[in-house]
Every structure is written in structure tokens, then in C-alpha cells.
Structure 1
Amino acid sequence: MFSNSSLVAWTLPLFLAGVTALFVLRKLLKSHLAFPLPAGPRGLPIIGNALDWPTSQEWETFAKWGRKWGTITYVNILGSHIVVLNSLQTATEMLDGKSSIYSDRPSLVMAGPLAGWSNILHLTPYGDTFRQRRKMLHQFMGTRTIVERYYPVEELETRRFLLRLLENPEDFAAHIRRAEAAIVLKLTYGYDVKDHDDPVLTNTYPATTQFSLVTIPGAYLVDLLPSLRYLPSWLPGMQWKRSVADYAEKSQTLANVPFTFAKQHLISGFAKPSFVTLSLPSGIGDEEANLKWAAASIHVGGSSTPVSAITSFFLAMALYPDVQKQAQAELDAIVGSSRLPSYSDREKLPYVDALVKEVLRWNPIVPTGVPHLLMQDDIHDGYLIPKGTIVIANIWNFLHDETTFKNPMEFDPSRFIATKDHTPERDPHTIAFGFGRRTCPAMNLADASVFISCAMTLAAFNISKTVENGIVVEPVHESYSGTISFPKPFKCSIRPRSEDAVALINLVDMQNA
């Protein structure tokens, strides 16, 4: 039995602790109530802003929201907090300056558990696993100095790309996809793509396209109502579920098949140096799983982001012939006609370098980025951003902001050239590849690939608008929705610049190079 004195001794501290806790809780609640949520379109009961959410060209809708509601726009969809950032300064302050709390990823049920992309670095939650995989990728391609050793592979595959372009220019989009996939498969797995009907290549494009679609925030209702995943596919509105099995099969094939190839070749003693084969000897258990998905992350990013940029380059050259002529004049003066340019020429080609920057700015690869997830409550610019908020950076808007880029809808590489009368505009590399601890780890590799492809193509070919039946066909400047956005199909005329150019292209030995 407790005595009265002992009871008081126990209850008094508990009482004081309870009062203190209530005081602190009340103060916290009061302080949060003092800060409003950011402004945004008014939602409806229960569903919130579900009907306001864009179904295509989402970056344009987000930009309109920014002009009306401010640089931080808030929406609520079925109870999920979402903010869209339309100011580069705000995105930098939040995603870079507070990266310790803005580096998580939202749980995307469709992309992750259903479509099989849970382990890809792009969607890996912030934590030890993310850091381990990120470290692997940084050691492989995290700096320009490291990436220099990969230039010969990129240049060889680009030469092969030029030869295919010479033989069949109408299929330039397919040639771009093949060349970039060949580069990433060689560097990541030591895998050489076959000339025809390559089994790994056949899966790469559909898998990366599906990844881009299933990671669009708000594209699938199941991401906001996870219980929908358990409903049968025959119910009305469940058509999306009928694609799940195919998506999951392709994602697992992309991760497993080339990884198994590299592993088997390492065991047999015939492996070529690559990210996987150089890392596998120490990879066991969880380490091997991390390696496999780190490699798959390179595979996805390297097979898609340069493709988007290089395709945009072809579109820009067809639409802006004067830009093409100026770039070719610089190449002719610096490189000449006796060889094709290489990455080592970049410092001597300021206009071509600026052209690559403009490609990244004019048609962003990831126009709304991959969404971040806030890990704890934050107060920013007087607004409460609640823990668990999905944060979307409207990169397209940052790169088309008139206060940063003059005449932003025009393709004009000279904006990045310094003269006595002109200060260069901001380098888009600091914007186009994401923010904070989620910046794209492959940005240096992708940038080098885009430069090599643009420079070699400009040296060898003229790109112009197609003429059909005496009528000029205007290329359409539109892009598909998706985390990774690609220009919609367009026609252009691609012809070698001279007989000397043809001779240089034909120097490539497709069998033994």
C-alpha cells in the first residue's frame, strides 16, 4: 500500500508533466493556427481539388495557378496535401536549403507496389537504402572527371547513330532511342546491343515510357485511395488495373535481365568492365539488391532523359534554321571537315555548348520533376506546409520565367553567350536536373551524351522542315505528359551536309568498332 506522502510524491510530478505537455501542445497548435495554408483553388467537400487537377500538360496549368494564387499554390485531393512551387527562388529555398526535410518521396501505389518500381532510386524513400544506392551511383558517374572515361563509348555509339541516320533518316526518333539505350547498357552492364531484335532493347523503351506515366502525381486515383488496389478490374473505372500485370512484368524484366547477364559473364570470366561487373564482387545479399536497383536506375534515366533532349534538339533545328547555321559555322571554323567533333572540343565551341543549354531550357526533360515529400511540418514565407505534403517543383515554369529568361518561348542559344553588352542568362543545368538531395545523379553523363549527339549531328547533317507535295510541313511543338516528357512525333528532313560528311559517317565499322 502507498502512503499519502508517497502518493503525492508520485502524482505531483505526473500532474506537472501533464500540465506542461498540454501547455506545449496548445502553444504548438496555436502557433500552427497562426500560419495559414498557402492559397489555391477552392475545392469541393470530400474530394477537394480532384476536379481541378490537370490531366495533360500539367506544367501549364500549374503555371496558371502560380500567376493567380502565388508562388506556392496549395491543393487538397481527397485529404492529401499538395503544393506546387512556381518560383525558382522558393524551390531553391525549400528543396535545396531545407533538403533534410524535403528529400523524401510520396508513396505512389501504382508506380511502386503495383507496377514494380518501388526499388528504383527515383522512388526510394529517403534513408539508409537511398543513401547507399546514391553513393554507388556517385562513385560511378557523380563528377565530370569520372564521366570523362565514358566519352569514347558515347562517341562510338553516336557515330553508329549517324550511320543509321544516313541510311534511314525518317526513323530518327527510333535511332535516338537505340543509341542512348546502347550507351547506358554498355556502361552499366557491359552489354552490347544486337543490330536487330535485341531482347533487352525491345523491353527498354516500353518500360521507361510506362515508368514516366505511372509516376505522374495525381494520375492514378489509387495513389490517393490505396484501398482501390484490392477492387476487381472488371468494375467501372478500374481499367487502369488491367495494365498492372504488364507494367510489373516490364519493370522486373528491365531490372533483372541485363543484371543477370552481367552476373553470368562475371562468373564465366568474360565480363566487360561496367558499373555492375566492377561492383559485383563485393555485392552480396542486400548489397546485391541495392546494386541491381542502382543499375536499373541508371538504365531508366540514361535510356530516357537524353532521348528527350536529343529529340527536342532535332525539333529546334527544324524550327530555327538560323541557329543551326550559326552552330555549323562554328563547327566548320574550329573542327573543320576532316573529322567529326568530340567532347574534347566543347570548350572551343561556345555556341554549340550554349545550344545544348538552350535545348535543356526550351523543352525541359522533367517539366514538373519527380515529387518530393515533406518529412515534418514547415513554415515558409508565412505559410504552414504540413508534414506529408507532396511538393511539386514546376521546372518548366522556372525555365520559362520572363524575369530570368528573355523571350522564353524562343529558342535562342545566344542568351548564354557573354559579350561586352550582354550578361549570360542563368545556366539551366542548375534547374533542369532537380533539387537538393534528389538532384539527378546521372546529369553529367546525360549532358555529355546530349552534347556529343548535337555536335556530331550538326557537323554531318542539315535538318529542315519537310516539304510534301510542294507544301512545307510545320513541325508540331508539343510534348507528352509524363514525369519524363518527350516531344510528340513530328516530321523533319535530314540530309548529309556534303560528300565529305558522308565519308566521315561511313568510316564507322558497325561490326568491329
Structure 2
Amino acid sequence: MITLSALSLLDCAVVALTVILLKNVITGKRKGALPPGPKGWPIIGNALGMPTSHHWKTFTEWSEKWGEMTSFTIFGQPMVMLNSLEHAVELLNRRSTLYSDRPILLVAGKLVGWDQVITLAPYGAQHREHRRLLSRWAGTRSSVMRFAPIFEREVTKMIVRLAHQPDGLVEELKKMAGAIILDITYGYRVQNDDDPLVRVVDLAAANFSELTTPGACLADTFPILNYVPAWMPGAGWKRRAFAAARDTHSMLEIPYAMVMEQMAAGSAIHSFTSDSLEEKSSEEHHNNVKSAAGVMYAAGAATSVATMHSFFLAMICFPEVQKKAQLEIEAVVGTDRLPTLADRDSLPFVNALCTELHRWNPALPLGVTHRLIEDDVYEGYHFPKGTLFTVNVWKILHDSVNYKDPLEFNPDRFIASGEKESELDPRNVMFGFGRRVCTGIHLADATLFMACTRTLAIFNLSKPIENGRVIEPVVEYQTGTISHPPLFKCAITPRSAKAEALLHSLEVEALQE
């Protein structure tokens, strides 16, 4: 006879989990059906059929078979993929009071610490306070204009560095994006090629992208694994989580402590952190400011790098688009100076190019998942409390219902003329829905515009030629919550003698700073 004392902790856990899952299956069937989707197995659901890479492509294939709302379960956890704008707007925008929570992620959230920031924080008072702080600082296009000198300075530095190190494209993009966000958020100026704070943001952002990818962490499905000691064989995931937690702690604490020291000494520069800290002196408020600053710093820089990397890839793949943008810049700005943020409204094609970058290969192809706060019924389907909803951003932005020839890179689709209307603005999809819309959209737009226009004003971007052979890039984006292009070679050369002279003057100015 087997007694309870003879059972191991894991045996007990398996028995308990089985009872819970069977209860979920039985009660779920009793309450009503979820939308159609791939057939799963008893208990484990669709766990064995989940994609391991490029998830958005598999989910798009599923939508073609099962429809605009596709459901599946993993060990009793119901999940719904929203493959159309109509369903995403109806549920996440119009019913946002029910659909604004985030999944409870043991690893990325509780162990690594991303549940402290607005990206994964549960819906509630803390989330609303973070949104208030961020929206007040940079929540409108006009409020971002005061940061124009920062955008222009850091983009120009990147251009100067790229002229000498074209093979270091990704590192230069990280440095540029990190420098902009660090200055705006903390009043911190990046000075050297291997800045410690830029390193910190790179590590934290990479951790987030890796650990929030669907199916990346088994412990998110089986929270009982949290009780496994980190030293045990097979617990490498937990040691990895502890290392990532140290990176998150550094991301939040190091620059915040720097600003606090400067404020105590009376030497703090105006920034999101210093100005927000002056609002109140309570510990709760200071913690909210620290967490809100951290998300500006990590999420803002990481997504900007991914989109800017896509810009360079698009320009070498579609030289006719590059040329058209350069001609517009020449006609409006001339060749004696660089474009500024004030030129934005006078450059409609360049603006359309930036918009098309968000659509062509979105940095967040599956957005960030929402969690249902209480039971809901929609179009005859019953969604139990705790159901997870993910928007297939990539599918919506490549749907022929929304875009003509969606696989083409065509900025003109966003320029209305005569009877031709502009197509769906991808930013209404890419930057989230409802009460989870990204508060950094205007910062991201300004960063992208300045980087694109100044790069095109100075450089021609093309596929490199080695040994008489054109090196073709591989356009196969990497798997992750934040999806980047693969590494590719790009020839970066001054457009003309006048551009080269302007570049030289920029180098002189950079040396004098």
C-alpha cells in the first residue's frame, strides 16, 4: 500500500496538478466553448504542438485554417490568438476594463523582476500611476519636441561613427538609442564606446525578449518548479533567471541612484527621473518613478534598435524607396544642413517610410499578451477568467484586407491623394491596445524619424560587393518577443562630395564637444 509519506514532493505535485487540470477541463466544457483551434491532448492540451520559432508565422497559418480567433490550451491554460483588427479592437479597446491585465509569469515577472515595470505589471493602481508619470512627460508629439536637441545630437554622433565603422551597425544603433533614452530619462550623457549603462540596458532588454517568448520557460506553466533549488541538476533555468534578475536590478537601481545622488548634491540635470521625483517625497512614489524610468530605458531602446535595424535592411533591399526619400530631403532641406525634427511635417514621404517600417516587420510581432480579469462572452464564445489573449500583430499588418500587396515595402500606401485613402496606420496595432497602449510611441517616432532622415541625407546604403559578387542579405527575422533582423552586411558611403564635406564638419564638431 502506498502511503502519502512514501510519495515524493514531485509525485504529490503531479497528482495535485492533474486534479486541478481535470477540474479546469470539466468546468470549461460545462461553461461553453472557446473559438476553434488545433485539437489538443487530454491534460496537456496543445503543449506538444506549439511552435518553437517564428511563432507569428505558425499562428498565421492556424488563422487560415481556424479563423480570425484561434484558441488552444497548454496544461489547462486557455489562450486565444486574435488575428484580426476587428476582434482586437472590440475586446482589448472597447472592453479594456476586462482585458487589461497581464499574464502571471513566474520567471520573467516574479523571479527576474519585470512585473515591477509597466510592461508586465498587473492592471491596477501601480500600472495607472506609471502610465500617468510617463504620459505627462512624453505623452504627446508636442511634448517630445523639447527633446529635439538630444535626438539630433545622438543621431549625428551615430552617423559620424558609422562613417568609420560601417561593420559595427548594430552596436552603433544600440549606442544611439541607449544614449537618447538615458539622457531623456536620467539626464545621463553616454561618453565612450563601451558605456556601462548602455551595456546594462542591452542585457536587460535581451533577457526580456528571451524570457517572454511563448514557451520559453516551463516554470511559467508549472509554477511548482519554483520550489526546485537552483543548485539541483536540471535547474539551470533558475540559475539563468537569477542572473537575469541581477541585470534587471542593475537597470532599475544604478541610474536611479545616480540621479538621487545628483539631486542631493544639487547638480541634477532636468530629466524624467529628477523632475518626477520632485513631485512627491513618499517611498511609494519614488519606487513608481524608478520603475517607470526603467521601462523607458529598456523597452524604449530595444524596440527602437530593432526598427532602425529594419530600416537599413529595407533601404538596401528597396533602393528605389531610398532614392525617393533622399530626393524629398534634398528638395525640402537642401544639402547644406542636416534635417531637424522641425522638418518632420514637410517630409511626408520620409514619414510614410517610417510608418511602413513598423508594418513591414514589426518589432513586436505578437505584441504583449493580455489576461482576462473575469469571465466574458463574445460572439457566442465563452472566455473564462484568466484566459490569455495575444494579438497576431504580424498577421494584421500583412493582411490583404488591410493592405494592398502586403508583402511589398511601399511607403506610398500611407500617402492619401485624390480618391486614394491612406491605408491602416500600423502604429494603431504595433504599439498595443486599450489601457496597455505604449506610452512611448511619440519618443519612438521621433527617434526613428531623426535616424532615418539624417542617415539618408548623408549616406547611400547598398548591398556590399565582395570579389565581384553582390552579398545578398537574409531576410529571416529572429525569434523573440522583440524580433530583430539577422546580421547582414551593408555598404555605407557618403552620397556626394558635399555630403562628405558636411560629414567632415560634423566630425570636427563632435571632437569639440
Aligned-pair CA distance for 1:218: 2.6
Residue 415 of structure 1 aligns with an amino acid whose one-letter code is: R
Residue number in structure 2 paired with 1:507: 505
Find 2:263's aligned residue among 266, 281, 302.
Answer: 266
Aligned-pair CA distance for 1:55: 1.2
Indicate if the aligned counterparts of 2:477 and 2:484 stay in contact, CA closer than 8 A: yes
Residue number in structure 2 paired with 1:485: 483
Aligned-pair CA distance for 1:237: 4.9
Q: Tell me the alpha carbon deviations over residues 142-178 of structure 1, each in whole angstroms, 9 at most, x when there is no partner.
A: 1111111112111111011110111111111111110
Aligned-pair CA distance for 1:196: 3.2
In structure 1, C-alpha distance between the alignment counterparts of 2:140 and 2:511, rounded to whole Å: 32
In structure 1, C-alpha distance between the alignment counterparts of 2:112 and 2:375, rounded to whole Å: 30
In structure 1, C-alpha distance between the alignment counterparts of 2:488 and 2:281, rounded to whole Å: 45
Residue number in structure 1 paired with 2:365: 367
Q: Tell me the alpha carbon deviations over residues 61-120 of structure 1, each in whole angstroms, 9 at most, x when there is no partner.
A: 111111111111111101111111111111011100100000000111110122222201
Find 1:211's aligned residue among 201, 208, 213.
Answer: 208
In structure 2, C-alpha distance between the alignment counterparts of 1:183 and 1:511, rounded to whole Å: 19
Task: Write out aligned runs for 1:51-450 (5 A).
Answer: 51-233=48-230, 237-281=234-278, 282-420=280-418, 422-450=420-448
Residue number in structure 2 paired with 1:25: none
Change (3 A) 1:471 1:234: farther
Find 2:471's aligned residue among 461, 465, 473.
Answer: 473
Change (3 A) 1:31 1:394: closer
Indicate if the aligned counterparts of 1:187 and 1:274 stay in contact, CA closer than 8 A: yes
Q: Tell me the alpha carbon deviations over residues 174-200 of structure 1, each in whole angstroms, 9 at most, x when there is no partner.
A: 111100100000010011112133221
In structure 1, C-alpha distance between the alignment counterparts of 2:281 and 2:191, rounded to whole Å: 28
Q: Tell me the alpha carbon deviations over residues 305-353 of structure 1, each in whole angstroms, 9 at most, x when there is no partner.
A: 1111110000000100111111111111111101111121111111111
In structure 2, C-alpha distance between the alignment counterparts of 1:233 and 1:433, rounded to whole Å: 36
In structure 2, C-alpha distance between the alignment counterparts of 1:125 and 1:34, rounded to whole Å: 26
Aligned-pair CA distance for 1:422: 2.6
Residue number in structure 2 paired with 1:451: 449
Residue 413 of structure 2 aligns with an amino acid whose one-letter code is: R
RMSD of aligned alpha carbons: 1.7
In structure 1, C-alpha distance between the alignment counterparts of 2:244 and 2:132, rounded to whole Å: 28
Residue 230 of structure 1 aligns with an amino acid whose one-letter code is: Y
Indicate if the aligned counterparts of 1:283 and 1:291 stay in contact, CA closer than 8 A: no
* Structure whose CA Rg is larger: 1
Which consecutive unaligned segments of at least 5 residues does structure 1 have? 1-28
Aligned-pair CA distance for 1:512: 4.9
Aligned-pair CA distance for 1:30: 11
Indicate if the aligned counterparts of 2:115 and 2:122 stay in contact, CA closer than 8 A: no
In structure 2, C-alpha distance between the alignment counterparts of 1:33 and 1:354, rounded to whole Å: 50
Change (3 A) 1:415 1:119: same
Residue number in structure 2 paired with 1:26: none
In structure 2, C-alpha distance between the alignment counterparts of 1:90 and 1:52, rounded to whole Å: 24
In structure 1, C-alpha distance between the alignment counterparts of 2:388 and 2:199, rounded to whole Å: 34
| Residues paired across the two proteins, number | 485
Indicate if the aligned counterparts of 1:134 and 1:441 stay in contact, CA closer than 8 A: yes
Aligned-pair CA distance for 1:222: 0.6
Aligned-pair CA distance for 1:295: 0.3
Secondary structure, counterpart of 1:186 in structure 2: helix
In structure 1, C-alpha distance between the alignment counterparts of 2:468 and 2:221, rounded to whole Å: 52
Residue 129 of structure 2 aligns with an amino acid whose one-letter code is: Q
Q: Tell me the alpha carbon deviations over residues 34-63 of structure 1, each in whole angstroms, 9 at most, x when there is no partner.
A: 742111111112211001111110111111
Aligned-pair CA distance for 1:288: 0.6
| Worse overlay, 114-123 or 391-400 | 114-123
Indicate if the aligned counterparts of 1:159 and 1:505 stay in contact, CA closer than 8 A: no
Aligned-pair CA distance for 1:301: 1.8
Aligned-pair CA distance for 1:502: 2.3
Residue 57 of structure 2 aligns with an amino acid whose one-letter code is: E
Residue 247 of structure 1 aligns with an amino acid whose one-letter code is: A
Aligned-pair CA distance for 1:388: 0.2
Aligned-pair CA distance for 1:233: 4.6
> TM-score under structure 1 normalisation?
0.92
Q: Tell me the alpha carbon deviations over residues 378-433 of structure 1, each in whole angstroms, 9 at most, x when there is no partner.
A: 11111111110011001111100011111111111111122235322111121110
Change (3 A) 1:495 1:283: farther
Secondary structure, counterpart of 1:407 in structure 2: coil
> TM-score under structure 2 normalisation?
0.92
Residue 317 of structure 2 aligns with an amino acid whose one-letter code is: L
State the identity as a percent.
44
In structure 1, C-alpha distance between the alignment counterparts of 2:27 and 2:472, rounded to whole Å: 59
